[in-house]
Amino acid sequence: MFFDFGSRSAPDESECEFVSCRDSNMKICESGVAGRCRNAFISYHTETVMSTTTTQVSSKSLSQYKAKAYSVTSAESPLAPTTIPRRDPGERDVQIEILFCGICHSDLHQVRSEWSAIPTVYPCVPGHEIVGRVTKVGSAVTKFKPGDLAAVGCLVDSDGNCPQCKAGLQQFCPHMILTYNSPDVHLGGVTYGGYSDSIVVKEDFVLRVPSNLNLAGAAPLLCAGITTYSPMRHWGVTKGKKVGVVGLGGLGHMAVKFADALGAHVVVFTTSPKKKEDALRLGADEVVISRNADEMNKHADSFDFILDAVAAEHDINAYIELLSRDGNITIVGLPDKPHAVSASSLIFKRRSLSGSPIGGIAETQEMLDFCGKHNITADVEVIPIQRVNEAYDRLSRADVKYRFSIDMASFK
């Protein structure tokens, strides 16, 4: 997930004093994450969003309540219990009691401030794989009522007016509001995510959950699901295509399930030999241990499409070499360090390399409905919120089968 700084570049440390910071405690650039002041970052985005979003609300006029949550206060600190403000639902808002929230590797990147392009604003409450039950709706809400199941993914707002929004591609809106670490145009500061017992979200960004799905396993669909489903649809994964999935983690295992359900021949590339049997059970036709050059070479020039869902630095050229003429590799994994790419590997077989972020609201609903029809959910390890730091340690070691899903009943 990215912030798009639009036509203006974001302020850096030297420009901080020209930005009207909303944080009254601000000292000019007291943090300077990756050369950018966090406060300037919030202020810049808040100004930009406030001037464009369709939901401008004065924070002073909003009533609010306290929700339970887990937050981090620095890149080094563990997640710890806290309370956070949530706005009382406005006329177009839906209030949701969160039942489960998945743990995405992006949560880990963000709380540890591993992304230089997206500085983390602390305190940070992560979580963008949210499933719950509606507790209250505003007077103008038409699609949800108290008691309904509901879900929220990585987006909670966008400007609604730009060409991207008009095309239903809110994930490319320059003013999109992410579920956490984005400017909160209602309460000020930044948005707080799903490691919490409740959330309030504009109706247009609330999704319906098919009733046949296991809820703990459905939560990860809201990020891991849509992030893998969307590029597969875009690049035409279907029966008869040979599809590779690199990295059998939260995203990777969803990619295997979708590629299999779409009828493709699926090959998993993993660095973890112990995941081989799981990969086959999840729907892979073949499994390659990617550290074995001989096994890799057997697949040279043969793939129509490869999805790279690796969370760490690795050699992407090894996979480009496996694409057939006109094959595409799409990166969804987001390590901070840039990839080195061989131009000749791309040029001489007209191969392409692209990236893909999450998905728009309509496509996310389409994905959820597809999962309902095919009974697809994530394989989850359900944990109480009190074990979230242990889960982060295991996630950083690629040791999870295949997504942690936090049971928010543990807040009670």
Which residue ranges make up the site for Zn ion (CB under 5 A)?
Answer: 104, 106, 223
Selected binder of ligand NAP within 121, 173, 209, 358 (CB under 6 A): 358
User: Quick one: three-class SS letters along 136-194?
Assistant: EECCCCCCCCCCCEEEECCEEECCCCCHHHHCCCHHHCCCCEECCCCECCCCCCECCCC
Contact by Cβ (8 Å): 395, 105: yes
Pairing of strands 265-270, 242-246: parallel
Q: Which does 10 bind (CB under 5 to 8 A by kind): ligand NAP, Zn ion, none?
A: none
φ/ψ of 2, rounded to 5, equals -130, 150
Question: Contact, 406 vs 220, CB < 8 A?
Answer: no
Helices (H), 321-411: 343-347, 361-374, 388-396
Q: Which residues contact 197 (CB under 8 A, 6 or more apart)?
A: 67, 68, 69, 97, 98, 408, 411
Identity at 319, one-letter amino acid code: Y
Distance spanning both ends of the chain, measured CA to CA: 31
Cβ-based neighbour number of residue 277 at 10 Å: 10
Among 29, 152, 307, 334, binds ligand NAP (CB under 6 A): 334
Contact 378, 72 (CB under 8 A): no
Residue among 101, 124, 309, 408 that touches ligand NAP (CB under 6 A): 309
Stretch that binds ligand NAP, among 57-65, 131-139, 356-364, 375-383 (CB under 6 A): 356-364
Instruction: Pick the piece of the chain touching ligand NAP (CB under 6 A) from 15-23, 24-32, 155-163, 393-401.
Output: 393-401
Candidates 46-54, 161-169, 209-217, 330-338; binding stretch for ligand NAP (CB under 6 A): 330-338
Nearest distance, CB of residue 231 and ligand NAP, angstroms: 9
The vertex-42 CA angle with 113 and 27, nearest 5°, equals 90
Among 177, 251, 306, 316, binds ligand NAP (CB under 6 A): 251
Alpha-carbon torsion, ordered 296, 300, 350, 249, to 10 deg: -30
Contact with ligand NAP (CB under 6 A) among 31, 46, 95, 106: 106
Closer CB to ligand NAP, 23 or 381, in the complex? 381
Q: State the residue for tokens 């999935």.
A: 245
Cβ atoms of 109 and 392 closer than 8 Å: no
Stretch that binds ligand NAP, among 71-79, 174-182, 221-229, 361-369 (CB under 6 A): 221-229
Q: Which stretch binds ligand NAP (CB under 6 A): 196-204, 315-323, 329-337, 361-369?
A: 329-337
Q: Quote the least distance from Cβ 317 to Zn ion, whole Å.
A: 26
For ligand NAP, the closer of residues 50 and 280 by Cβ is 280
User: Is residue 405 part of the contact set for ligand NAP (CB under 6 A)?
Assistant: no
* Binding site partner of 237, from Zn ion, ligand NAP, none, Cβ cut-off 5-8 A by kind: none
Residue 117 touching ligand NAP (CB under 6 A): no
Alpha-carbon span 339 to 354, nearest angstrom: 12
User: Toward ligand NAP, which CB reaches closer, 198 or 227?
Assistant: 227
Q: Rounded to 10 degrees, what is the CA torsion of 250, 256, 259, 260?
A: -140
Residue 311 contact among Zn ion, ligand NAP, none, beta carbon within 5 to 8 Å by kind: ligand NAP
* Cβ-based nearer residue to ligand NAP, 319 or 370: 319
Residue 37 vs 246, nearer CB to ligand NAP: 246
Does residue 310 interact with ligand NAP by CB under 6 A?
yes
410 binds ligand NAP (CB under 6 A): no
119 binds, among ligand NAP, Zn ion, none (CB under 5 to 8 A by kind): none
List residues binding ligand NAP (CB under 6 A): 1, 104-106, 109, 223-224, 227, 247-252, 270-272, 275, 309-312, 314, 332-335, 356-358, 395, 398, 400
